[in-house]
Amino acid sequence: MAALKNKDVFCGPLSLNNPVTVQVLGICSALAVTAQLVPALVMGLSVTIITALANVVISLLRKTVPNRIRIIVQLVVVASLVTIVSEVLKAFAYDVAMTLSVYIGLIITNCILMGRLEAFAMQNSPMQSLLDGIGNGLGYAKILVIVAFFRELLGSGKLLGYQVIPDCAYEAGYANNGLMLMPPMALIICACIIWYERAHNKDLQEK
């Protein structure tokens, strides 16, 4: 029974309870960092690490933190983790850190992160909180990667910075769709993903 519950906690955010397409959280960063795959991957990984670690820390502290200051404690924990991740990125992936710019810092106010701390980590064990954090982080990253894949491929003919569409296609008349690199297209692609998931999952369809 416990193993089944842990599986639901981890796998739920990857499909039927995805934080972006089902709960409609974290949309702002999905618009901002998905013009290329590399920033989307780094952002998704960063959110996953921070959400998982913050969930564990808050779960460990949940019985010792007074209720009236719990939000402050959560913000301090998240801000500390975001600062560490930001400095690590600047040290080992400076170009990507500059591309993400302020969006790494804005993870502090990410609705997914704060929602999981308040709704899950404050009521559950560290192990379940870890699984919940990883699951929600990966569910978020999954959508960012899908959106970035189509935007970079159709917008610039590249993936991970490498040209994918051959020169012969351009010589035959193919042209990159510059509109794909504009933020509104991220919202449109997210809408298409939401439509696809709801059309193929009866549990997500409104009665």
**How do residues 10-56 score in pLDDT, each as one tens digit?**
777 887 788 888 777 777 777 778 888 988 898 889 989 999 999 99
In this predicted structure, the answer to whether residue 151 has a pLDDT above a threshold of 70 is: yes
Instruction: Note the Cα 117 to chain centre separation in Å.
Output: 15
**How do residues 98-127 score in pLDDT, each as one tens digit?**
877 777 777 777 778 888 888 888 888 899
What pLDDT, on the 0 to 100 scale, is given for residue 207? 43
* Alpha-carbon span 83 to 8, nearest angstrom: 31
Length of the chain: 207
Domain ranges of the chain: 20-200
* Alpha-carbon span 18 to 37, nearest angstrom: 20
What pLDDT, on the 0 to 100 scale, is given for residue 18? 82
Global pTM value? 0.86
What pLDDT, on the 0 to 100 scale, is given for residue 54? 93
72-100 burial, b for 16+ CB within 10 Å, e for fewer?
A: ebbeebbeebbeebbeebeeeeeebbebb
Confidence band of 150 (pLDDT split at 50, 70, 90):
very high
More confident residue, 109 or 1: 109
**How do residues 62-93 score in pLDDT, each as one tens digit?**
888 888 888 899 889 999 998 998 888 888 88
From the number of C-beta atoms within 10 Å of its C-beta (0-12, 13-18, 19+), residue 203 rates as exposed
* Alpha-carbon span 175 to 154, nearest angstrom: 9
